[in-house]
Amino acid sequence: MKLGFGLYRHMLNQQHYRFAKQCGATHIVAHLVDYFGHEKNSNVDNNQPVGGREGWGLAGSGKLWSLQELLKIRNEVNSHGLELEAIENFDPSIWHDILLDGPKKEQQMEQVREQIRIVGRAGIPVFGYNFSLAGVSSRSVGPYARGGAESVGMEGSVDETPVPNGMVWNMVYNQNAPTGSVKRISHDELWDRLQYFLDNIIPVAAQAGVKMAAHPDDPPMPYVRNTPRLVYQPQMYQRLLEMNPSPNNQLEFCLGSIAEMTEGDVHEATDFYSKQNRIAYIHFRNVVGKVPDYKEVFVDEGDIDMFRILKILKKNSFEGVLIPDHTPQMSCGAPWYAGMAYAMGFMKAAMTIVDGED
């Protein structure tokens, strides 16, 4: 197992690479989509995007991330003694009609295939994605963690406001879209859209040497903002894996999201999926409660027994990367840095202890 660090686009710089290295990380998971474009979603404190009904801001221009751009990032990461393990999430501007089954679906599918070819040529082994129409939604911010540390969670209700036309996955791809909202569809129809995506992307990913890693729904509710969700119970991940048996069809295994689910047990799910060798990398974070009433907390105070998780992963020979993803903000001059340093210190110590056990 390897200790990694996730960085948002505005953090892809020397300061944050050095910080990750100082925390003991060996690998980086990079977000290239800018989630902080909306004025209500400032990146000043470097915290995770929360957004709201207005979303996270504007999607990109529809251009692919070039080989030169990816190599530049990878070389900068390598220069700090780190490896670039994964890119997390497509820009909605290049795949909104794949998600929505829109008229540009086939054209965008070729763009997505080419993006994965470029990622493979850049030597980046994993690409994480979240096949979701509403994206992350319905969350609040409050003093939810130990000592009143600011964190995010749900407080008993889900946002049922329909997603407006021109928005998908929390980002606006068309500011001039006609008035109205995204049509409500069934779960089966969304699964059919995922099948189309996997049928087209997994063969290309296998040829490019890239593992496609699917994130579960966050929050894991059956419907959010009048749109269906795919993986909102642990067993639903198996349906995704069985859609394409290729070893390049894998999971971005978020412990927090899985623990929030109303069915199953996160420890048993970790054992079940890691035994199949289908977990690409792991979001190692903790929560208290289940949807629709849960809170993100410090890594050592939640419902998940993190040492038990590590022992399960060791037993099943998991060799991938674990990142804290995000964590509560600590009450000091650098809330994000302190919270992340705390999480990384716990993870490094716990991994060292478990690695040393017979």
Its domain, for residue 66, covers: 2-356
- pLDDT tens profile 156-176: 988 899 999 999 999 999 999
Residue 56 pLDDT:
83
Q: What would the mean pLDDT of 179-191 be, rounded to a whole number?
A: 97
Q: Give the count of beta carbons closer than 10 Å to the beta carbon of residue 22.
A: 11
Query: What is the percent of the chain where pLDDT is above 90?
Result: 89
Residue 344 sits at φ, ψ, to 5 deg, of: -65, -40
Mean pLDDT, the chain, rounded, equals: 95
- pLDDT tens profile 300-318: 999 999 999 999 999 999 9
Residue 236 CA from chain centroid, whole number: 17
Residue 39 pLDDT:
59
How far is the C-alpha of 203 from the C-alpha of 146, rounded, in Å?
46
Q: Where are the alpha helices (DSSP H) in 14-140?
A: 14-22, 67-78, 96-100, 105-121
Residue 164 sits at φ, ψ, to 5 deg, of: -70, 155
Q: What would the mean pLDDT of 185-191 be, rounded to a whole number?
A: 98
- Cβ burial 46-72 (10 Å sphere, 16+ → b, else e): bbbbbbbeebbbbbbeeebbeeeebbe
How far is the C-alpha of 334 from the C-alpha of 112, rounded, in Å?
37
Is the separation of the CB atoms in 303 and 288 below 8 Å?
Answer: yes
- pLDDT tens profile 84-115: 999 999 999 999 999 999 999 999 999 999 99
Cα dihedral across residues 44, 47, 48, 53: positive or negative: negative
Is the separation of the CB atoms in 85 and 321 below 8 Å?
Answer: yes
Q: What would the mean pLDDT of 294-304 be, rounded to a whole number?
A: 97
Residue 64 pLDDT:
98
pLDDT band at 320 (very low <50, low <70, confident <90, very high): very high
Residue 221 sits at φ, ψ, to 5 deg, of: -110, 155
Residue 357 pLDDT:
85
Residue 282 pLDDT:
98
pLDDT band at 35 (very low <50, low <70, confident <90, very high): confident
pLDDT band at 332 (very low <50, low <70, confident <90, very high): very high
Is the separation of the CB atoms in 101 and 254 below 8 Å?
Answer: no
Residue 66 CA from chain centroid, whole number: 22
Number of independent structural domains in the chain: 1
Is the separation of the CB atoms in 291 and 137 below 8 Å?
Answer: no
Closest CA to 7 of 75, 74, 88: 88
Of 28-37, 40-49, 148-157, 228-237, the one with minimum mean pLDDT is: 40-49
User: Which domain CATH number covers 301?
Assistant: 3.20.20.150
pTM for the predicted model, two decimal places: 0.95
